[in-house]
Chain A
């Protein structure tokens, strides 16, 4: 098969995988939450969640009707033979997956309304990374639902507010989110860089498997400290006041302007959906685990 076709098929498959099968570490986190939960209210909700994602996995149907706005993380080696055409290939794969999975048409043009095929100006969005001296393509499909997108936040703090300001912004954002984005949440946080970079890092941090902490010891500590404290808010599963509120906190940090302290928070609902694969120049495919 031509490499073009292989990439298109893999991208279509990744969208299907993402919406029908949760990453292993996310599934494990939800099962552990169900095992540990004491309250009956939270247990019923978590049981419903687990039954639902299990049904999705076996029936190969989307676990949630909101199959998200489609984005892809693309990491491509400079020696990989197909680069310029990737955007077109990923747009075609998205149209195909919309039909075959099926995905809900979720791309809305400001003036023309729903495009009906999940493709629109800039959508699917592609996060590009070019890798020198390399000939492999890494693709990650990351469809993101509207509920948890609507509660995500950007804070442009004063540098003098420091770590306390950062922590306060995170606590207040989770309080604001409340029940609206389908907790228990997975939190992606980006600190520093700039207004767009902080949000970008926040989203990217969600690709790190749950249970894996930042390699920077102080940040790893902060992740653990926040996870424990945020659960004391007791928003609870589905916002019903009982059981876990947040299952994981991921933080990425970038250098910043001396006058700026940006912080981005990307919430994921319990259905933190993504799937990835590597394709080499010969068309050999390896699926990634998260």
Chain B
């Protein structure tokens, strides 16, 4: 298991070197997008309309941050840990195919649809420690822009962030069809019978 540092825009070759279990740090641009932003982005895409941001080669961050305006009227980040990625499983594959990000950042892992899209489009999924919102915020060097704030609200809108050494991320889906969380799920399922016996359930 290696440690990698990548800068956006990330090229396909750099992503294909990553394997599940590797540790990854990202510098450059990541944009927050959760349930509502995924929905809206895909709706616009399907209507043939342009988005206000370009996800190509950069990171999508499953995160609804706490942001605050400073005295100069600029947005600054207060807390910005990952949200549960499983909620985005229903449309992440479409999102990857439509917008070609190179890395999806979140927590808790994603399913087979996302794994397939990552393989087809050379994308990876990196898991950040859930709840570690201040450490994540410290790695965001600048809030560059915000879109859809009025309409979707602070947690759901698109925050365009400049990051430096954002991580440690555990590569949990690589671009070769491997999914760390699904592998662990299989181990957990195998442990269930043992636990049932231990508790005299069976």
List A residues at the B interface (Cβ < 8 Å): 41, 44-45, 48-49, 51-52, 55-56, 59, 61-67, 102-106, 113-114, 116, 145-147, 150, 164, 167-168, 171, 175, 178-182, 225-226, 228-230, 232-236, 238-241, 269-271
Contacts and interface: CB of A to CB of B under 8 A. Distances in A.
- The residue in B68, B138, B188 that gathers the most chain A C-beta atoms within 10 A of its C-beta is B188
11 contacts: A61-B78, A61-B134, A65-B64, A65-B80, A114-B156, A147-B83, A171-B192, A178-B109, A178-B185, A238-B107, A238-B130
A269 B130 contact: yes
Nearest to A114: B153
B46 interface: no
Given A65-B80, A164-B200, A49 B195 contact: no
B180 A102 contact: no
B173 to A, nearest CB: 13
B49 interface: no
Given A48-B129, A64-B133, A167-B199, A175 B188 contact: yes
Interface of B: 23, 63-66, 68, 78-81, 83-84, 86, 107-109, 127, 129-135, 137-138, 153-156, 168, 170, 180-181, 184-185, 187-189, 191-192, 194-196, 198-201
Nearest to B184: A241
A229 B188 contact: no
Closest CB pairs A-B (n = 6): A182-B130, A114-B153, A65-B79, A241-B184, A52-B132, A48-B129
Nearest to A51: B135
Nearest to A55: B134
Contact of A104 (B155, B170, B185, B200): B155
A229 B195 contact: yes
Contact of B131 (A64, A116, A228, A230): A64
B19 to A, nearest CB: 14
B153 A113 contact: yes
B79 A147 contact: no
A7 B101 CA distance: 49
B129 A59 contact: no
Given A65-B80, A182-B107, A270-B131, 4 more contacts: A49-B129, A62-B79, A167-B200, A179-B107
Contacts of B63: 65
B133 A52 contact: yes
A150 B86 CA distance: 11
Given A234-B187, A238-B127, A241-B187, A48 B200 contact: no
A65 B63 CA distance: 8
A109 to B, nearest CB: 11
A104 B64 contact: yes
Contacts of B66: 62, 65, 67, 102-104
Contact of B201 (A51, A55, A167): A167
A182 B109 CA distance: 11
Contacts of B86: 180
Contacts of A226: 199
B187 A175 contact: no
A164 B131 contact: no
A249 to B, nearest CB: 12
